[in-house]
């Protein structure tokens, strides 16, 4: 196992220097109109021998080794570089690009400076950047994370709590952090038609978010029936295969 980790860690370093990572973009839509409101950037690895590798196969190690900081900055820079093209395919007054954050990214003062310099380099408005986090992002270092996240929201960027309802996100996070968007985990949306209990959890999450003045995105919408149920429950945004799978920039048409 140690050898596997070492090989993978070396491969990640090579991937960064040889530009083997890629971002796929998935639309986040207004549930009622299906207009594209924004996109979530999802990393992929075009591994020379193992083919297209999904994020969960390598991010865990990058997190352990600290390489995630560099991977995270690469992701942010690529998303900002691509944003002007993506932006043209949105249909809303407040378009955004969502980028996922990892726990060790939020540990040092440098992070905010790095984000600012990437935004400047690509002439990107901070208000169009949304950072997605789970509570694992905060758990390691709650006070520093809060300070850094506040600096980012002061710039005008917004925060989304990802996978809401699972073990990785909590009510305490909603209470203490300046969260603007709540993303209901796919686990609940995918079971909500079959399970009254899941449906109640989705419904309560939507109400909670709206009471707190947050937007709600339901993740993992695969069918029209689920979309309709979510609309009935007052959910405003959705993401899932029904609207579009994550695809390369060149395959985005708007």
Kindly tell me which residue out of 132, 148, 188, 238 binds Mg ion, with binding defined by CB under 5 A. 132
Residue number with CB closer to Mg ion (82 or 219): 219
Under rule CB under 6 A, residue 43 binds ligand C2E: yes
Residues 6 or more apart in contact with residue 30 via CB below 8 angstroms: 36, 37, 92, 236, 237
Under rule CB under 5 A, residue 100 binds Mg ion: yes
User: Is 108 buried (19+), middle (13-18) or exposed (0-12) by CB count in 10 A?
Assistant: middle
Quick note: the x/- pattern for ligand C2E over 127-166, rule CB under 6 A, is: -----x-----------------------------xx---
- Hey, what are 17's tokens? 């220097």
DSSP 9: H
Kindly tell me which residue out of 191, 193, 222, 231 binds ligand C2E, with binding defined by CB under 6 A. 222
Under rule CB under 5 A, residue 128 binds Mg ion: no
Instruction: Determine the length of the chain.
Output: 254
Cα dist. 2→58, 61, 71 in Å? 14, 11, 21
- Hey, what are 164's tokens? 């809401």
Quick note: the x/- pattern for ligand C2E over 191-220, rule CB under 6 A, is: ----------------------------xx
| Partner in contact with 31, chosen from ligand C2E, Mg ion, none, beta carbon below 5 to 8 Å by kind | none
Residue written as tokens 């009471």?
A: 211
- Hey, what are 25's tokens? 């973009």
| Partner in contact with 206, chosen from ligand C2E, Mg ion, none, beta carbon below 5 to 8 Å by kind | none
Q: Which positions touch ligand C2E (CB under 6 A)? A: 26, 42-43, 54-56, 59, 75, 100-102, 132, 162-163, 186, 219-222, 239-241, 246
């Amino acid at each position: 196992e140690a050898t596997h980790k070492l090989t993978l860690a070396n491969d990640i370093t090579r991937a960064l220097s040889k530009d083997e990572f890629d971002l796929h973009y998935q639309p986040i839509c207004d549930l009622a109109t299906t207009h594209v409101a924004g996109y979530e950037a999802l990393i992929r690895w075009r591994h020379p021998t193992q083919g297209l590798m999904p994020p969960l196969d390598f991010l865990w190690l990058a997190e352990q080794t600290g390489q995630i900081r560099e991977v995270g900055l690469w992701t942010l820079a690529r998303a900002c570089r691509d944003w002007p093209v993506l932006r043209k395919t949105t249909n809303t007054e407040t378009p955004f690009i969502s980028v996922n954050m990892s726990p060790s990214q939020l540990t040092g003062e440098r992070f905010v400076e790095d984000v600012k310099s990437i935004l400047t380099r690509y002439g990107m408005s901070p208000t169009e950047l949304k950072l997605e986090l789970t509570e694992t992002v905060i758990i390691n270092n709650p006070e520093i994370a809060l300070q850094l996240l506040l600096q980012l929201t002061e710039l005008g960027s917004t925060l989304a709590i990802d996978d809401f309802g699972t073990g990785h996100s909590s009510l305490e996070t909603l209470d203490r952090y300046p969260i603007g968007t709540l993303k209901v985990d796919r686990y609940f949306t995918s079971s909500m038609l079959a399970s009254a209990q899941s449906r109640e959890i989705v419904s309560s999450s939507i109400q909670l978010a709206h009471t707190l003045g947050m937007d709600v995105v339901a993740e993992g919408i695969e069918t029209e029936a689920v979309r309709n149920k979510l609309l009935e429950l007052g959910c405003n945004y959705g993401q899932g295969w029904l609207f579009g799978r994550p695809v390369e920039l060149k395959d985005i048409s708007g």
